[in-house]
């Protein structure tokens, strides 16, 4: 069945609010859209919940627009999005910049040939995988995720990029949690990072 959509239904929504529209970044507004959940997932921990941000279209347009403007005139060739909330940021960013999107997934989720990088968690290990044909030796990649916590996933993704001959230009996130040490680990490994806000 062929479905024809009348332009009048969608044209206003599609043309009035592209990522490239004028916007003003406000860290105060961003923080007002991030919900604090005390004592989750365990007592003494305050969880920074972005689902309230995701519900706000103008807030998300501000986030997407800020990332797009930061990297618009850079030498990056690929956007690397980390499983899974990084996909919510990486896809709009890649689209806004007209760049390929590379996804870094948990084991067993990618169908073609992959390489794997393990990293250590507080209680055990985890891993990321990427397709072997995702990058080439001249690739310059921005990695993006929702937050920088312990840094394990971002460092694993960086190692995967390096193993494919590419180079990570920067790691980006909405939130940095420096108390967990991730941003310090990125710096110690020579990886530049950028976050919209810090807790």
Residue 124 pLDDT? 82
Residue 118 pLDDT? 97
Rounded average pLDDT over 20-38? 90
One of 28, 42, 122, 137 is an active-site residue; which one?
Answer: 122
The two beta strands, 167-176 and 140-148, are parallel
Judge contact between 79 and 94, C-beta under 8 A: yes
Residue 18 pLDDT? 53
The C-alpha atoms of residue 139 and residue 75 are separated, in whole angstroms, by: 10
Active site (annotated) includes residue 28: no
Residue 10 pLDDT? 35
- The full length of the chain comes to 199
Q: Tell me, yes or no, if the pTM score tops 0.85.
A: yes
> Is residue 113 predicted with pLDDT exceeding 80?
yes
Residue 21 pLDDT? 57
The C-alpha atoms of residue 156 and residue 175 are separated, in whole angstroms, by: 19
Residue 5 pLDDT? 43
> Is residue 56 predicted with pLDDT exceeding 50?
yes
HSE-up (13 A, CA, CB side) for residue 117:
21
Rounded average pLDDT over 162-166? 98
- Local confidence band at 9 (pLDDT 50, 70, 90 cut-offs): very low
Residue 122 pLDDT? 66
Residue 17 pLDDT? 43
Active site (annotated) includes residue 85: yes
CB atoms within 10 A of CB 34: 19
Question: What topology is assigned to 74-198 in CATH?
Answer: Rossmann fold (3.40.50)
Instruction: Give the alpha-carbon dihedral of 36, 40, 45, 51, to 10 degrees.
Output: -30
One of 28, 35, 48, 85 is an active-site residue; which one?
Answer: 85
């Amino acid at each position: 069945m062929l479905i024809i959509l009348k332009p009048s239904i969608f044209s206003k929504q599609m043309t009035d609010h592209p990522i490239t529209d004028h916007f003003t970044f406000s860290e105060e507004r961003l923080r007002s859209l991030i919900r604090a959940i005390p004592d989750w997932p365990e007592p003494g921990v305050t969880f920074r919940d972005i689902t309230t941000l995701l519900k706000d279209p103008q807030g998300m347009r501000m986030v997407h627009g800020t990332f797009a403007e930061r990297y618009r005139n850079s030498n990056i060739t690929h956007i690397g999005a980390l499983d899974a909330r990084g996909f919510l940021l990486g896809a709009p960013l890649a689209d806004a910049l007209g760049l390929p999107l590379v996804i870094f997934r948990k084991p067993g989720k990618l169908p073609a040939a992959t390489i794997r990088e393990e990293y250590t968690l507080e209680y055990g290990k985890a891993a990321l995988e990427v397709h072997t044909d995702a990058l080439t030796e001249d690739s310059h990649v921005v990695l993006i995720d929702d937050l920088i916590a312990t840094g394990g996933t971002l460092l694993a993704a960086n190692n995967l990029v390096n193993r494919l001959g590419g180079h990570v230009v920067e790691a980006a996130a909405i939130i940095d949690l420096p108390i967990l040490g991730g941003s310090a680990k990125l710096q110690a490994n020579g990886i530049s990072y950028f976050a919209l806000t810090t807790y």
